[in-house]
Amino acid sequence: MNRKDLSSLQSPWNFTNYSSSTSPPPAVLVVSPNMAYMAAELIIAFLSTVGNVLVCVAVGINRKLRTVTNYFLVSLAVADICVGTIAIPCAILTDIGLPHHNLHLCLLMLSVLIMFTQNSIFSLLAVAVERYLAIFMPFRYQMLMTPRNAVLVILAKWLLAITIGLVPLMGEAQMRAAANIRREMKMAVSLFLVLFLFAVCWIPLHVINCFLLMCPRCYVPFELLLTAIILSHANSAVNPFLYAYTMTTFRDTFKAIFLCLKTSSSLRLTKQAVWYQRSIRPS
């Protein structure tokens, strides 16, 4: 089976063509991996994991970053970490033809992908609603958007995302000052960029899947399909860079983290050098 034939199976996000027929299974499909695609996915997985872990650490160590908005961004970062550590490896396994003839494992992989994708969407929706309340309903904002309510919203959206992801398995207040308003607007612009990049990264893959759903026999170049998958996964890696570029507090905290790591590494090397000198010094 060549790459053109594989396009009928489509992407790691489309398991609709899997057959659970009881007929004897065909020979095991061996697919040579697309090295360029695999390399791109591994780079994105690394950047997504490291970058979003950095976001979580920054919010954890800097009290100024512990805002309701950033709680939602941390939830989004956790989902993106899961994309880098779980979803992307699943996509790579699918590209090389795994799992072989295992409907339940295919459905489980699909469920995991849906969970993380839906959680990202719900996180962005929560951020959009939070920004709307902060800008257009400042009197009610502090009453509605308390840390406790934010945690409840985060738990609810994770529960909803998990519930939606399990579907495939079921068949088998005060007025803000002018300076505060400007700050809220600046934050809204930054988070609009997050929403915009999410749309840019995910729309191509959804357009391809919708096209194939309406025209199953139509041909889509396999390279185009892999590019769309890589672009959708890349969204999980770009957010930390966007936070650092548009939000001063995140940028300063990231710098402090790297400086701390550099200082810690230097101290460790110094201690090792002192220990080595003492060990070789004649008694």
Across 31-58, average pLDDT: 90
Is residue 10 within 8 Å of residue 228, measured between CB atoms?
Answer: no
Q: Are the C-beta atoms of 116 and 83 separated by less than 8 Å? A: yes
Going from the C-alpha of 7 to that of each of 10, 35, 98, 181, the distances in angstroms are 5, 17, 15, 50
Report yes or no on 24 lying in a domain.
Answer: no
Check pLDDT > 80 for residue 66: yes
State percent of the chain over pLDDT 90: 24
Rg (CA), the chain: 23
Most confident of the following: 26-35, 117-126, 267-276? 117-126
Quickly state the pLDDT bin for 112 (edges 50, 70, 90): confident
Range of the domain at 247: 30-280
The more confident residue out of 281 and 207 is: 207
Percent of the chain with pLDDT over 70: 76
More confidently predicted of 113 and 265 = 113
The answer to whether position 120 is within a domain reads yes
CATH code, domain with 41: 1.20.1070.10
pLDDT at 75 over 50: yes
pLDDT digits (tens, 9 = 90+) for 176-215: 445 566 666 666 777 788 888 888 999 999 899 999 889 8
**Per the domain annotation, does 22 fall within a domain?**
no
In a domain, 273, yes or no: yes
Is 185 part of a structural domain of the chain? yes
Question: How far apart, in whole angstroms, are the C-alpha atoms of residue 206 and residue 189?
Answer: 25
Residue 124 in domain:
yes
Higher pLDDT, 13 or 243: 243
Higher pLDDT residue, 15 or 132? 132
With CA atoms as reference, report the closest residue to 134 among 122, 118, 123, 145: 145
Give 20 or 109, the one with higher predicted confidence. 109
Q: Over 70: is that where the pLDDT of 131 sits?
A: yes
For residues 250 and 77, give the distance between their C-alpha atoms in angstroms, rounded to a whole number: 13
Q: Lowest mean pLDDT: which of 17-21, 25-29, 118-122?
A: 17-21
pLDDT category, 279, cuts 50, 70, 90? low
Tokens of 216: 């199953």
pTM over 0.85: no
Q: Percent helix, strand and coil across the chain, each rounded to 5? A: 80, 0, 20
pLDDT in tens, 49-64: 999 999 999 999 998 8
| Average confidence (pLDDT) over 226-242 | 90
* 114 within domain boundaries: yes
Residue-level pLDDT at 7: 44
**Taking 90 as the threshold, does the pLDDT of residue 109 lie above it?**
no
Q: What average pLDDT does the structure give for the chain?
A: 79
The count of structural domains within the chain is: 1
User: Does residue 18 fall inside a structural domain?
Assistant: no
